[in-house]
Amino acid sequence: MPVAYRDGAEDSVLSVLRTSPQVGSLCLLSPDGAPWEVQYHLRPERGNLLRPFDFEGLSVLEFGAGMGGASRCVAERCAAYVGVEGSALRAEGLRERLRDLPHARVEVCNLIDFRSDQRFDVVLIVGVLEYAGLYVSADDRPFAPYQAVLRHAMGFLAPGGSVVLAIENRNGLKYWAGAPEDHTSRPYDGILGYPFRECPRTFSRKTLLSLLRSVGLTEVDEFYPWPDYKLPSVVVSRRLAQSYPFFSAELAADAHARAMHPPPQNFPLSLAAMELARSGLLEEFANSFLFVGFQRLEGPIRSRLLRRMFQDREVAWHYSLNRRVPSETAFAEDGAGGLVVRKRALATVGEGFSLAKWKPKAEFPAKLEQSVFQQLRAFAFAGRDAEFLATIASFLEWGFARWRSPDGCMLPEALDANPTNAVPSAGGFELFDIEWEALEPFPASWFVFRCLFTIEDALAMFPKPPWHTLEDLYRQLCERFGIEEDLEGDIRRETAFQRDTHRHLTADAIRDQLEARFREPRAGSGYQRDSLADWQMRAAFAGGDAPIRPIARLLALAVVRRLRRVVARVACRFRPTSTVSIAGLFGMLGRWLARS
């Protein structure tokens, strides 16, 4: 029996798939400005979740395949594919996505009703298990519907086969930061135990592992997609998270910086991830889980599916698919206690670059120290602008000494050198992940521009930026190093470079973003939502480190706050529209007393 489930994007997605001449897993199918739901179905990042696995020669059954966002990546590589989808309309979209793959077929029914004599090497359950309580009838035990789905899936496994499961983490870091729960759109719903309604339910890491083991999947290989399993740019194995926790946090931070959704405005997730890594808790707070479960430890299917981890010793993967050269960066153990980085293009490298060429090293050592970018994030969040600027200036000085020619231009190999690709070293800095090289020497002002352009995630963390616009900081640094500034020219050059290197951006859109980033006034991050004045007053009364205020001023401040609350309550009863203005006046008075 079909399932009546829709997210509202199905008609639009189906129209795109029907009219697109190509529907491969790397195709950019999502229209410009499309709603999130449409992008979720069509963006190539959906396939990143499963790209690290080797499906060659394997048969795959997928429950809840949707409209094929992740399915296409698997079906392109496996020997046989069957997708089961409960919604007839979604199944139609899935057929369109798989239309040129003769070894793939689609069935329409509730997954629990699916029947087949065929046995499969892998059963995929991606973003489905959380709905079992709504669509699967079972007894009254709390986990019965979820166990029923897992047991049903295991019934189709060939000997030694695997269940691959992806689901959000109830305790995901983004949820603790205040992001709405993905299924209910209510903040804190999951971490408070879903108190408000019958709804899809996710699980903590410990509970999910217990659930898998309760049905006989006793051997589980764990992976963590960041920023989550829906549109991941990074997939990290538990092996990496345990052996190199800080490096895992760096990868998670990079994924958050690239996420489509704006970050929760309570605290910077990148810094929080680093502290969780320091505490050994990053896996518990991953936003999503990607678990690969087996009934036994050894077997040819496990060896094949996880070949890249066991044979190639790869423990994490980073994807850049919107580039003109869609690429994968794999991180592998080198056998000597370190990591190496492997770069490869996922599609043919195009010709006709106007300013640069893609020239990465095929393999190079990973730099596991905390990056300069992470230091800049911490300085900015704390408002330590002197240290922030000193770090930027130190990097620029090092870069000029290394690559600036006598005529004042930068050598071509300096193009991709910036704080996001650097770690501190005894000699200044060491670079990693260098991919691009200019076709000819370029102005030193563009080197300054690119260093600022690439660290936007850190720049945006200042509670109160020490400059009015980013152009002011650009001019300040150019003057400091005796460089002729050319912001208009640098915007033009960066626009051409970004247009060269990205498949999905127009020159006008790029230029508009650059103009806004450098010329519009900078706003504070909003992370520090607790009133500094409140903290200062509490610390002063407690004898803490905050500046001690004269007791009369502290008492006056307390009285003002008390009056503000009383007036606000009274105003709410009689004239609600006056509440904001009256309370606001008392708030202004309180802030003036705190500062004075």
Whether the per-residue pLDDT at 586 is higher than 70: the answer is no
The model's confidence at residue 567, banded by pLDDT at 50, 70 and 90, is low
Evaluate whether residue 546 is within a structural domain. yes
Count of the separate structural domains present in the chain: 2
User: For 425-455, what is each residue's pLDDT tens digit?
Assistant: 988 999 988 999 999 999 999 999 999 999 9
Q: Kindly state the DSSP code that residue 446 receives in the 8-state scheme.
A: H
User: For 1-20, what is each residue's pLDDT tens digit?
Assistant: 667 777 889 999 999 999 99
Considering the domain architecture, whether residues 396 and 460 belong to the same structural domain is answered as yes
- Two tokens, residue 578: 């006056």
Check residue 388 and give its pLDDT: 97
Check residue 498 and give its pLDDT: 94
Check residue 348 and give its pLDDT: 79
Q: Print the domain residue range for 424.
A: 372-519
Considering the domain architecture, whether residues 385 and 495 belong to the same structural domain is answered as yes
Evaluate whether residue 191 is within a structural domain. no
Considering the domain architecture, whether residues 553 and 476 belong to the same structural domain is answered as no
- C-alpha–C-alpha distance, residues 574 and 596, integer Å: 34
Evaluate whether residue 118 is within a structural domain. no
User: Where does a domain end: 472, 489, 519?
Assistant: 519
Considering the domain architecture, whether residues 381 and 418 belong to the same structural domain is answered as yes
Evaluate whether residue 448 is within a structural domain. yes
Q: Which whole-number Å values give the CA distances from 301 to 79, 162, 213, 311, 332, in the listed order?
A: 13, 8, 19, 13, 21
Considering the domain architecture, whether residues 555 and 496 belong to the same structural domain is answered as no
**Least confidently predicted of 207-211, 259-263, 367-371:** 259-263
Q: Which whole-number Å values give the CA distances from 521 to 469, 479, 489, 564, in the listed order?
A: 5, 20, 20, 32
Calculate the average pLDDT of the chain: 88
Check residue 32 and give its pLDDT: 81
Considering the domain architecture, whether residues 457 and 515 belong to the same structural domain is answered as yes
User: For 155-164, what is each residue's pLDDT tens digit?
Assistant: 999 999 999 9
User: Where does a domain end: 474, 495, 519?
Assistant: 519
Evaluate whether residue 237 is within a structural domain. no
Per the listing, tokens 């050894």 go with 298
Q: Which residues contact 140 (CB under 8 A, 6 or more apart)?
A: none
Considering the domain architecture, whether residues 576 and 462 belong to the same structural domain is answered as no
- Two tokens, residue 520: 């519009």
User: Where does a domain end: 469, 497, 519?
Assistant: 519
Considering the domain architecture, whether residues 427 and 558 belong to the same structural domain is answered as no
Check residue 510 and give its pLDDT: 95
- C-alpha–C-alpha distance, residues 52 and 31, integer Å: 27
Evaluate whether residue 227 is within a structural domain. no
- C-alpha–C-alpha distance, residues 139 and 312, integer Å: 45
Whether the per-residue pLDDT at 594 is higher than 70: the answer is no
CA atoms within 13 A on the CB side of 425: 13
- Two tokens, residue 259: 């996420």
Q: Which whole-number Å values give the CA distances from 139 to 134, 142, 147, in the listed order?
A: 13, 8, 11
Considering the domain architecture, whether residues 488 and 552 belong to the same structural domain is answered as no
Considering the domain architecture, whether residues 478 and 554 belong to the same structural domain is answered as no
Evaluate whether residue 460 is within a structural domain. yes
Considering the domain architecture, whether residues 419 and 552 belong to the same structural domain is answered as no
Check residue 77 and give its pLDDT: 97
Check residue 548 and give its pLDDT: 41
Residue 432: name the closest of 176, 217, 247 by CA.
247
Considering the domain architecture, whether residues 513 and 376 belong to the same structural domain is answered as yes
- C-alpha–C-alpha distance, residues 549 and 556, integer Å: 11
**pLDDT: which is higher, 538 or 379:** 379
The model's confidence at residue 198, banded by pLDDT at 50, 70 and 90, is confident
- C-alpha–C-alpha distance, residues 168 and 160, integer Å: 26
- In this prediction, residues 545-569 reach a mean pLDDT of 54
Q: How many CB atoms lie within 10 A of CB 203?
A: 21
Evaluate whether residue 128 is within a structural domain. no
Task: Measure the CA angle with vertex 415, ends 369 and 359; round to 5°.
Answer: 85
Q: Kindly state the DSSP code that residue 397 receives in the 8-state scheme.
A: H
- C-alpha–C-alpha distance, residues 105 and 118, integer Å: 13
Check residue 353 and give its pLDDT: 81
